[in-house]
């Protein structure tokens, strides 16, 4: 695509010359390739420009003045519209060209596109409709549903391969054993509860017996020193009693009477 800029090289108007210089200078600054076409020296260029400027864009006298800008045969605008696009950072859009990556206009265009169409992933819009009439989101949901069905099928096949005892655990085995023995699960549970209660009662009795034995042993240990003390006291009492019962000899009695006689004589002498 070639940008065509129609100019008047020999124009006597200073304003027209300035406008032409502004347009060409800005295009060069943006590194946009363009082709300047002089209408002052080439009658064909002047006639083509006048014929291809839209009627609604022509001035009241019907003769458009340069500079006029085209993208191939597509009309872009005159100096005023070019200046407005320049102020809005939309010159490339004005010229019908894609903005260079990383430019300010490219960023603005991307923001506007996102606001209008939503965020983009991998160069495509999230909600973009595919040829078969389904959205990408629907395809993802269908794919997830298929994966879930496959997982459920795998689980069912696994259940069939694993034996019932291993799959259900000990609980199923207990139920089967109870049914074979002619008992229901409730009866088996009651028997198990009774057995547990009997075992607990037995343990409690054993603990009580142990406590009683320990208590009796402690009592015996306490009584032993008391008995020893009582036995020792009895021995001492017997010894004392034996001494009191010992018979007095005649010599001892005579000795005692003589001493008493002497004491009486001394008392009488003292009295005299």
pLDDT tens figures, 108-151:
767 766 777 766 555 544 444 434 444 555 666 666 666 666 66
The dihedrals phi and psi of 6, each to the nearest 5 degrees, come to -85, 125
For residue 5, give the nearest of 117, 151, 224, 16 by alpha carbon. 16
- Position of tokens 């490219």? 106
Q: What is the pLDDT of residue 181?
A: 47
Give pLDDT, residue 129. 41
Give the span between the Cα atoms of 102 and 92, in whole angstroms.
13
Count CB-CB contacts under 10 A for residue 243.
8
- Which residues of the chain fall below pLDDT 50? 124-134, 158, 167, 176, 178-183, 246
- Taking only the tens place, the pLDDT of each residue in 95-115 is 999 988 877 777 776 776 677
pLDDT at 148: 61
Q: At what angle do helices 185-244 and 170-180 cross, to 10 degrees?
A: 90
Query: Number of C-alpha atoms within 13 angstroms, CB side, residue 193?
Result: 6
The reported pLDDT for the residue numbered 160 is 54
For 141, residues 6+ apart whose C-beta sits below 8 A from its C-beta are none
The DSSP string of 164-216 is: HHHHH-HHHHHHHHHHHTT--HHHHHHHHHHHHHHHHHHHHHHHHHHHHHHHH
Q: For residue 61, what pLDDT is reported?
A: 87
The pLDDT assigned to 120 comes to: 58
Q: What pLDDT is recorded for position 163?
A: 55
Q: What is the pLDDT of residue 150?
A: 62
| pTM, to two decimals | 0.42
């Amino acid at each position: 695509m070639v940008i065509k800029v129609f100019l008047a090289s020999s124009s006597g108007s200073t304003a027209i010359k300035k406008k032409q210089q502004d347009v060409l200078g800005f295009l060069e600054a943006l590194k946009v390739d363009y082709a300047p076409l002089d209408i002052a020296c080439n009658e064909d260029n002047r006639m083509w420009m006048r014929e291809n400027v839209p009627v609604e864009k022509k001035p009241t006298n019907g003769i458009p003045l340069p500079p006029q800008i085209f993208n191939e045969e597509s009309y872009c605008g005159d100096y005023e519209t070019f200046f407005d696009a320049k102020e809005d950072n939309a010159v490339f859009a004005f010229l019908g060209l894609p903005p260079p990556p990383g430019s300010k206009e490219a960023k603005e265009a991307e923001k506007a596109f996102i606001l209008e169409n939503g965020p983009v992933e991998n160069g495509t819009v999230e909600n973009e409709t595919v040829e078969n009439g389904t959205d990408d989101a629907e395809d993802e949901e269908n794919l997830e549903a298929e994966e879930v069905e496959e997982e459920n099928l795998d689980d069912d096949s696994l259940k069939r391969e694993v034996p019932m005892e291993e799959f259900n655990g000990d609980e199923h085995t207990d139920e089967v054993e109870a049914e074979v023995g002619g008992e229901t699960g409730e009866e088996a549970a009651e028997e198990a509860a009774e057995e547990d209660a009997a075992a607990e009662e037995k343990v409690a009795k054993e603990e009580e017996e142990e406590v009683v034995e320990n208590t009796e042993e402690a009592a015996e240990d306490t009584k032993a020193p008391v008995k020893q003390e009582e036995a020792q006291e009895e021995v001492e009492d017997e010894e004392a009693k034996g001494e009191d019962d010992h018979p007095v000899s005649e010599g001892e009695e005579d000795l005692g009477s003589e001493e008493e006689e002497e004491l009486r004589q001394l008392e009488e002498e003292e009295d005299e």
